[in-house]
Structure 1
Amino acid sequence: MQRYFVSHPAIENRFSITGDDLHHIVRVMRMKEGDRIVCVGPDETSAVCEIAEITDEQVIANVVQWMDGTSELPVRVAIASGLPKGDKFEWIIQKGTELGAWEFIPFTATRSVVKWDVKKASRKVERWNKIAKEASEQSHRQKLPEVLSPVSFTELINLSKKYDNKLVAFEEDAKQRESSVLSKTLNKMERGESILFVFGPEGGLSEEEVLLLKENGFKSCGLGPRILRTETAPLYALSAVSYHFELLG
């Protein structure tokens, strides 16, 4: 059943769907009155709904049944990625959303090859958030992750202050077989807490950047004995969080 994130809560058990989702329902899916969809409100509640009315401005969907339970991770995970080349960050957003990420923070690092084009910024960020939205719908999320505009390293440190736990993946730790920091951090976390993971671009983070993060409350960690690509490491971290909190029981 097709899922849509609705910007306004249901009023008298009725959702109003507009914008791109209206076009998707009518032009792409070619749905009719009586067809059923799942609507997710801004409060992260979801419901099976039946399309009651279709106009040029909106689709009205009546709630048939509110859905119980959640598919969200019990902790909030933010992924901060040093801007990588090509479409790697889009891959991180798509797959990271499927794995339960709460927020994505791209940042410019010393070794970032990509130069952020301010003129194309709004269009790029809009595309990133569209990718997150589509991945959320596909993976039956109740939460729509936000993808921020790229920030400087200093801004990243300022943003990090709102998180309960902060880790930076450091290649040198992996080479030295460091294996306990991630596990210890997850073991001490409580449900409802937040954690920020920082990953470098293709060339990794510099020692100066890692030192600065440590001075601001981060712990450095390895992600197993192998060296992971910049687009693989965030998915490893999210998978580890999911395993710890959702599968270990």
Structure 2
Amino acid sequence: MNWIVIEASEISSEQSVHITGIRHHHIVSILKKKASESVLVVVPGIGNFRYQVEGISNQETILKAEENLPRVLEPLPIHCLFSLPRPQTAKKILHLAGAYGITSLHFFATESKNKEYWTSPVYSKDWKELVLTGLSQTGNSQMPSVHLGQRENWKQFLSSWKGPVQIMDREGKNGFPNSNQRDFGLKETLFVFGPESGWKESDHLFFKEHNLNQTSLGNINLRTEFAFSSLLYLLFKS
């Protein structure tokens, strides 16, 4: 946790905030901050700040806004869809989405996926906290939106997408030349990650019928979280 995440609703009209729980423990025990010292703060949807420690007790840390900081990270303006991953995999995806500041995440159960994954707390009450762990790592202030398509058809969703769609598939074309990736209209691009077992033949027919590009990250099989991480790295470094 390099940055302390503070929700805008926690900040008083005097620009101070009372921090308790895990964040308080981190400031005191990990960062070892004392009164009058500063901590780095990210406020989701607003920006980056430096806050001063006004007081510390056994139960809480009181912080007050000291100065605005320039945005430390340029978010990746992309959208990503995942064939319902295992909860442990979803945790890593949500963290990475927050760390890189992508625009949106979409989870759907394709025909071959275990729909019981929907019952996991990751997809009901924990997803926001998992995204916030990414913000606390990098200082990104953009909160990705998360769409849980539990009762929706993923192929209908793809058909209605208004921008470019890139289907991630080991057998696809190499869609990542060395040129600047931001030049080919990332803003509305939806990157689609399928099941780790691979797309079914009916899926490939659907992609062909709808002229959807199939893009490869390389000629190896990757676990979903590694494929997502590879995509983020390739786009971010350019």
The aligned runs of 1:137-216 (5 Å cut-off) are 137-151=136-150, 154-155=153-154, 157-158=156-157, 161=160, 164-173=163-172, 178-179=173-174, 181-183=175-177, 186=181, 188-190=183-185, 193-213=187-207, 215=209
* Structure-2 separation of matches of 1:122 and 1:228: 25
1:47, CA displacement in angstroms?
Answer: 0.9
- TM-score scaled by length of structure 1: 0.73
Percent of paired sites with the same residue: 17
Distance 1:235 1:206, change over 3 A: same
Q: Could you tell me how far apart the structure 1 residues matched to 2:122 and 2:97 are?
A: 21
Could you list the per-position Cα deviations for residues 208-238 of structure 1 after superposition, in whole angstroms to 9, with x for gaps in the alignment?
Answer: 2344355556322122233323232111211
3-state SS in 2 of match to 1:231: helix
Alignment partner of 2:92: what SS? helix
Alpha-carbon spacing, 1:29–1:62, altered in 2? closer, same or farther (3 Å) = closer
Note the residue ranges of structure 2 that are not aligned, 5 or more in a row.
none
2:48 and 2:72 in contact (8 A); partners too: no
For residue 62 of structure 1, give the secondary structure of its aligned residue in structure 2. Answer: strand
2:20 pairs, out of 14, 22, 44, with 22
Which amino acid in the other structure matches residue 39 of structure 1?
Answer: V
Given that 2:24 and 2:60 are in contact with CA atoms closer than 8 Å, whether structure 1 keeps it comes out as no
Deviation at 1:136, TM superposition (A): 1.7
In the alignment, the residues of structure 2 paired with residue 13 and residue 216 of structure 1 have an alpha-carbon distance, to the nearest angstrom, of 54
User: Where in structure 1 are there 5+ consecutive unaligned residues?
Assistant: 245-249
The one-letter amino acid paired with 1:71 is: L
Question: Against the structure 1 CA distance between its residues 37 and 172, is the aligned structure 2 distance closer, same or farther, given a 3 Å change threshold?
Answer: same
Q: Secondary structure at the match of 1:84?
A: coil
Give per-residue Cα distances to partners, 1:108-154, cap 9 Å, x unaligned: 11222x32355x45564332322221122012212233443353562
RMSD over equivalenced CA pairs, Å:
3.6
| Letter aligned with residue 233 of structure 2 | S
Contact 2:169 2:214 in 1 (8 A): yes
TM alignment of 1:78-117, pairs within 5 A: 78-85=79-86, 87-112=88-113, 114-116=114-116
CA contact (8 A) 2:83 2:107 kept: yes
1:129 match: 128
